[in-house]
Amino acid sequence: MKKRILLVLILVAIFVVPMLPTTNYTYSQPQQKTVFTISGGNYKPPPVGHFNFFAPGFLGGLMDWVLETLTDYVRVNDTYLPGLATNWTLSPDYMVFKVTLRKGVKWHDGREFTAKDVIATWYSGIYLRRDRPWYYLKNITVVDDYHLIFYMKEPNDYVPFYVLWHYNIVPYSQYGQFSDKVLELIGQGYDIFKNPEKFEPIRKALMDYRPEKFIGTGPYKLKKITDTEIILEKFEDYWSGPPEIDEVRLVRITSNDIYWSMVLSGKIDWYWGTPTPETLDQLKSKPFAQIVKIRRPLGPLIYFNYKKYPLNIKEVRQAFAYAINRTELAWIQYPIGGIPEDYMVGYSTLYMRRYLNDSFINTYVTKFRYDYDPKKAEELLQGLGFKKGSDGVYVTPNGTRLEFQLVFDGWLSAPAAEALANQLRKVGIKLNLRNMGSGAYWASDGPFYQGRYDIAIGVFASPGFSFEEFFYKYRVVYPGNHFPDLWETPWTSKPVNVTELIRMLQKYPVDVTEAERNNAMALLTWITGNYVPVISLFETPIIIYVNKEKFTGWPSPEDMDYWNSLASYAAHGRALLFKRHIVKPYMFLTVQVEPAEGGTLSLAPGEYKYAKGAKIQITAQPKSGYKLDKWILDGKEVKGPTITITMDSPHTVKAVFVKEQPPYALYAGIVVLLVIIVVAVYLYMKKKGT
């Protein structure tokens, strides 16, 4: 009897259970890996390329993905977002800067991030390279694992920027061996500026150091380096949560043609630079490309060596300024639209009205345009008694030919340098060109910093940056261009000391009022424009491209405040979008109905894309005579009138409707079926005699 009952129950379950009602269902399939691809340049795999942050040959493309600054800087509103540092205060006298670090941050090797790591960063490479903040920093002390104090030599708001955003933090576990030795020497009374020879063995050891691993606290950690790409994987223990994109791949680019074929096919997801007009037109035609054009107020600057006769004569430098067609050079170097500098005041005049009023500009600055005028250039040279030789090159009264060597690197392209030489040749000045690699050119003991040139190419930017460079750093800290300290101006009774003016600017707003600062800027602007110690040539047009079809969250192309903030420190600014979970990959959802006449869905059939992590709910509404039989999500059956899909990978969902039988017929059919089953079982058992 028990066997009969068991068999009946099994048969009933087989036929009846599928007819029972089901509940709603939420489905998420295993996550599909998302990849953001950018150029890694023509990097050199290890052991040539290496992981020493402070030494030449460092694999710099990894920097802002793996290493981090203490905060993220938002240029739009001039604010800092807490990151590795959560709080900071600058004392009212601008002499003490206190920083509080975030607790619980992990390095990629599992070690905890503490104040020791910040000390290792600042007292290893930054100190040993004599980087600019140490001109104003006295020392740094550790209060405890999460609190540091930066003490200044003199009031300034210059150092906090470098502490919070300029430098990436490296681990004590790797660089503490150098900072410990530096601090030991400092404790003995030595100073890197006064006693550089004492620190030289440590500096050399640092430059020779090659870490076996590259670790940081950043959102991505190094997974693999090959001859073709560098693969970074998301750091699951990142302090603000794992990033939205699983991998970042830096593709090795061995030729410009290969690179642009990848960009134009959508295989590269980000570009920052200056393409050719033809390439830009091609990029604009791509539906996946979001393009923004910005002006980078930074460009090549001509430096004169004051010790080289007759370059120490003001009228000779002015003749250079009139002889140079800046517009022609700008378009030769940047055919998409280089931006010639308006005034020869040594910095981008985009900043001019921050410091100078219209009255001063109209009275003094407008005469410093030095618009292209070859005739004026020759008049100035002839007025000095110079005469042309048989080859058309001017010769000074003492027989010195106006023939000079121009040393340059990538800030001025070779074609632009050739054009510059041709322009000057037309007015009787001969240039011999020497194109150098950037590493040797910008080395601390190289020709530029040490002033081993007649004429050289440097770089200009904002007033503060430019004045500090050519009137202080390249003149005082290094031999540089040898320009003197004292200069006469029309509204001062005695010569002005430019070094004192620049050091004074660092004390604004503590010991210097806004009016005093602006007066200092006016003096420096006039001195530069009148005496022409340098000639600023042109600024750089920059194209930024992002793949808008694969990723979402990019700022609008109209949000020029953000995009212009990438004019410099572009990698720092881009990293913010990924670290702060702003940019996310798109995931595609395909919605289908079968049969089409069976019903409608709250999301109509078609293909949709959503940001990764979005949850999409779809409800089915059968038409008269139909019912929802099931959902098929990525090949798997799901029951219920509503389905919720988590977009962690692409999905395809189909709603399957079937014709609905009248309820009475259904119930009658079930009853008949049950009767038949029971009778059949009874007869079978009776026949078997069980």
How many CB atoms sit inside 10 A of residue 398's CB?
A: 8
Residues 166/69, Cβ–Cβ less than 8 Å:
yes
| Confidence (pLDDT) at 479 | 80
Residues 45, 66, single domain; the answer is yes
pLDDT tens per residue, range 328-385: 999 999 999 999 999 999 999 989 999 999 999 999 999 999 999 999 999 999 999 9
Residues 504, 555, single domain; the answer is no
| Confidence (pLDDT) at 325 | 98
**What is the token pair recorded at 550?**
């694969």
Of 475, 450, 446, the closest CA to residue 533 belongs to 475
**What is the token pair recorded at 119?**
């000390």
pLDDT tens per residue, range 77-131: 789 999 999 999 999 989 999 999 999 999 999 999 999 999 999 999 999 999 9
| Confidence (pLDDT) at 3 | 54
Q: Could you give the 3-state DSSP secondary structure of residue 663?
A: helix
Residues 340, 441, single domain; the answer is yes
Domain that holds residue 622: 2-30+584-664
Q: Give the amino acid at 612.
A: K
Asked, for residue 56, whether it belongs to a domain, the answer is: yes
Say whether pLDDT at 7 is over 70. Answer: no
pLDDT tens per residue, range 139-195: 999 999 999 999 999 888 889 999 999 999 999 999 999 999 999 999 999 999 999
Q: Measured between alpha carbons, how far is 673 from 676 in angstroms, rounded to an integer? A: 5
Residues 527, 635, single domain; the answer is no
Residues 311/397, Cβ–Cβ less than 8 Å:
no
Say whether pLDDT at 15 is over 60. Answer: no
What distance lies between CA 409 and its chain's CA centroid? 22
Residue 611 belongs to domain with CATH number: 2.60.40
Percent of the chain with pLDDT over 90: 78
* CA-atom Rg of the chain in angstroms: 35
Residue 475 belongs to domain with CATH number: 3.10.105.10
Asked, for residue 269, whether it belongs to a domain, the answer is: no
Would you place residue 314 in the very low, low, confident or very high pLDDT band (cuts 50, 70, 90)?
A: very high
pLDDT tens per residue, range 235-289: 999 999 999 999 999 999 999 999 999 999 999 999 999 999 999 999 999 999 9
Give φ, ψ of 467 to 5 degrees.
-60, -40
Residues 250/311, Cβ–Cβ less than 8 Å:
no
pLDDT tens per residue, range 394-418: 999 999 999 999 999 999 999 999 9
Say whether pLDDT at 464 is over 70. Answer: yes
Asked, for residue 367, whether it belongs to a domain, the answer is: yes
Q: Measured between alpha carbons, how far is 513 from 515 in angstroms, rounded to an integer? A: 5
Q: What is the mean pLDDT of the chain?
A: 91
Residues 564, 490, single domain; the answer is no
Asked, for residue 279, whether it belongs to a domain, the answer is: no
Residues 355, 498, single domain; the answer is yes
Say whether pLDDT at 2 is over 80. Answer: no
Asked, for residue 482, whether it belongs to a domain, the answer is: yes
Asked, for residue 228, whether it belongs to a domain, the answer is: no
Cα atoms in the 13 Å half-sphere on the side-chain side of 26: 8
Instruction: List C-alpha distances in Å: 285 to 278, 337, 609.
Output: 11, 19, 22
Q: What angle do CA 255, 268, 281 make, to 5 degrees?
A: 80
What 8-state DSSP symbol labels residue 236? T
Worst-scoring range by mean pLDDT, 19-28, 313-322, 505-514, 656-665? 19-28
Residues 528, 486, single domain; the answer is yes
Say whether pLDDT at 29 is over 60. Answer: no
Residues 511, 654, single domain; the answer is no
Residues 120, 173, single domain; the answer is yes
Most confident of 29-33, 234-238, 458-462: 234-238
What distance lies between CA 301 and its chain's CA centroid? 24
Q: Measured between alpha carbons, how far is 609 from 686 in angstroms, rounded to an integer? A: 63
Would you place residue 6 in the very low, low, confident or very high pLDDT band (cuts 50, 70, 90)?
A: very low
Q: Please state at what angle helix 277-284 crosses helix 256-264, rounded to 10 degrees.
A: 20
- Alpha helices (runs of H) in 242-369, residue ranges in sequence order: 256-264, 277-284, 314-323, 326-333, 358-363
Residues 444/474, Cβ–Cβ less than 8 Å:
no
Residues 614/647, Cβ–Cβ less than 8 Å:
yes
Residues 530, 560, single domain; the answer is no
Instruction: List C-alpha distances in Å: 182 to 151, 200, 521.
Output: 17, 10, 37
- Alpha helices (runs of H) in 233-357, residue ranges in sequence order: 256-264, 277-284, 314-323, 326-333
Q: Measured between alpha carbons, how far is 604 from 257 in angstroms, rounded to an integer? A: 43
Asked, for residue 229, whether it belongs to a domain, the answer is: no
Would you place residue 36 in the very low, low, confident or very high pLDDT band (cuts 50, 70, 90)?
A: very high
Give φ, ψ of 49 to 5 degrees.
-75, 145
Question: Residues in the chain, how many?
Answer: 690
Q: Which helix (H) or strand (E) holds 199?
A: helix 196-208
Instruction: List C-alpha distances in Å: 598 to 75, 222, 617.
Output: 55, 52, 19
**What is the token pair recorded at 144?**
């405890």
Q: Measured between alpha carbons, how far is 122 from 669 in angstroms, rounded to an integer? A: 84
Residues 109/214, Cβ–Cβ less than 8 Å:
no
Asked, for residue 518, whether it belongs to a domain, the answer is: yes
Worst-scoring range by mean pLDDT, 204-208, 450-454, 598-602, 668-672? 668-672
Residues 529/368, Cβ–Cβ less than 8 Å:
yes
Residues 590, 564, single domain; the answer is no
Residues 303/536, Cβ–Cβ less than 8 Å:
no
Residue 160 belongs to domain with CATH number: 3.90.76.10
Say whether pLDDT at 16 is over 60. Answer: no
Q: Could you give the 3-state DSSP secondary structure of residue 203?
A: helix
Provide the domain count of the chain. 3
Q: Residue range 190-215: average pLDDT?
A: 96
Residues 49, 174, single domain; the answer is yes
Q: Residue range 294-314: average pLDDT?
A: 95
Say whether pLDDT at 601 is over 60. Answer: yes
| Confidence (pLDDT) at 19 | 46
Percent of the chain with pLDDT over 70: 91
Say whether pLDDT at 663 is over 70. Answer: no
Q: Measured between alpha carbons, how far is 308 from 305 in angstroms, rounded to an integer? A: 6
Worst-scoring range by mean pLDDT, 101-110, 426-435, 496-505? 496-505
Q: Which segments within 422-481 are labelled E, that is strand?
A: 430-435, 455-460
Say whether pLDDT at 10 is over 70. Answer: no
Of 148, 390, 147, 113, the closest CA to residue 139 belongs to 148
Q: Give the amino acid at 147.
A: H
Q: Residue range 611-634: average pLDDT?
A: 94
